[in-house]
Amino acid sequence: MRIAGKEINLRNLKKNDAISLFTSANDKDITRYTLLPYPYTLKDAKDFIEITKRNTRLKKAFELGIELKETKEIIGMNSLTNVDWKNKNAEIGYWLGKEYWGRGIMKEAIKLLLYFGFKKLKLERISATVLQPNLASAKLLEKSGFIYEGKLRRAILRRGKWYDQLCFGILKTELRK
């Protein structure tokens, strides 16, 4: 699967993406508010690629690499997970290699993934959750058309610390042209 954008493409991961995946993901600033382990090893990357293949085959999740058009390297991930076919919804999750932050790349990636989720998968709703201190991610979601739907207090215990979780959602009818 490949979804073409302007500066980036979203595509399925291949075995030989492991090194670029590992290089970008092995960063404390990325794992702080995500479920990625730290340190993130080359084996983590290889195992993850196999998991994404299985999930895609079973239509359980669509975990797409963000490929920089200029270099063809994978510089981050943007995924639809927990796909619920009965209720036509899924959850979005993402991260980007730090050297590419602040260039509008994730905004473009989310726009492409929303189009895929609503137009191709025919979903009705896409949701996102953010740990409260992750202001960058909350702002990004709002800029991408998500609506803030509320806060789950002390919902997540991560590395010995409690976090409130912010909930966002976007409906098929709210997709921008």
Ligand X SMILES: CC(C)(COP(=O)(O)OP(=O)(O)OC[C@H]1O[C@@H](n2cnc3c(N)ncnc32)[C@H](O)[C@@H]1OP(=O)(O)O)[C@@H](O)C(=O)NCCC(=O)NCCS
Distance from C-alpha of 95 to C-alpha of 109, rounded to nearest angstrom: 10
Nearer to ligand X, 122 or 125 (CB): 125
Q: Tell me the torsion sign for CA atoms 110, 113, 119, 124.
A: negative
Nearer to ligand X, 59 or 136 (CB): 136
Output the smallest distance, CB 118 to ligand X, in A. 19
Output the smallest distance, CB 86 to ligand X, in A. 25
Distances (CA, A) of 134 to 53, 64, 70, 129: 29, 22, 29, 10
Output the smallest distance, CB 33 to ligand X, in A. 4
Output the smallest distance, CB 143 to ligand X, in A. 4
Output the smallest distance, CB 138 to ligand X, in A. 8
Nearer to ligand X, 64 or 105 (CB): 105
Nearer to ligand X, 122 or 135 (CB): 135
Nearer to ligand X, 22 or 33 (CB): 33
**Contact residues for ligand X, defined by CB under 6 A:** 30, 33-34, 94-96, 101-107, 130, 134-137, 139-140, 143
